[in-house]
Amino acid sequence: MFIRTIVLFLCLSTTTLSAQSLIGKKAFPIQLKNPTGKLVSLDSFSGKWVLIDFWASWCGPCRLANRTVRKFYPAWKEKGVEVLGVSLDENQSSWIRAIKKDRISWPQVNSPAQWDSQLVLQWQIERIPTTYLIDPKGIIRAMDPNPESILSFISTK
C-alpha cells in the first residue's frame, strides 16, 4: 500500500510539473461552441484576466468545484476576472443539464472530442478539474490557483 501511494504521488507530481511548464507562456487558442451553438473564442476575452476551467458533467470533483467558482464568481467579475468553462463532455445534453443544475452563470464552451482533442494536448490536461489563470496580455500566470488567492494574485501583477 505504501509503495502504491508513493507511485501515485510521483505520477500526480509529474503531471503537475509538466503542466506547470506552461506558466509564463502564451495561452493556446480556444474556439469552441457554447450551449446555444455560437462559437466563443478565448481571444474575445482579450484585455481581461481569465480563469479557464476544464471540467466535465460526469466528474464529481468538477461539479464540486463549480460550487466554489459560483461562490467566488461575482467578486472576481467585479474586479475584471472572467471565467471560461471548457467542458470535456461528449454528450452535449449531459453538459447542458449540468450547467443548469449547477447554476453556472459564466461563459461555457464544449470540446466534445474529450481527451482526444488537440486542446487537451496543448493545455496538457491530464486530470480534471484543471484551471489556468490567464493575464490580460494572454499569458498563462498560474495553474490551479486557490480560489481565495485569485484577487490578491491579480492585484500584485
CATH at 13: 3.40.30.10
Signed CA dihedral, 109, 98, 117, 84: sign only: positive
For residue 86, give its domain range.
Answer: 2-156
pLDDT in tens, 35-71: 999 999 999 999 999 999 999 999 999 999 999 999 9
pLDDT in tens, 70-124: 999 999 999 999 999 999 999 999 999 999 999 999 999 999 888 888 999 999 9
- Residue 157 — very low, low, confident or very high, per pLDDT cuts 50/70/90? low
Average pLDDT on 25-38 reads: 97
Cell numbers at 129, concatenated:
478539474
What is the pTM (predicted TM-score) of this model?
Answer: 0.85
Nearest to 111 by CA among 88, 130, 133, 77: 88
Listed in sequence order, the residues at least 6 apart from 59 whose beta carbon sits closer than 8 Å to its beta carbon are 128, 129
Number of domains in the chain: 1
Nearest to 58 by CA among 129, 143, 132: 129
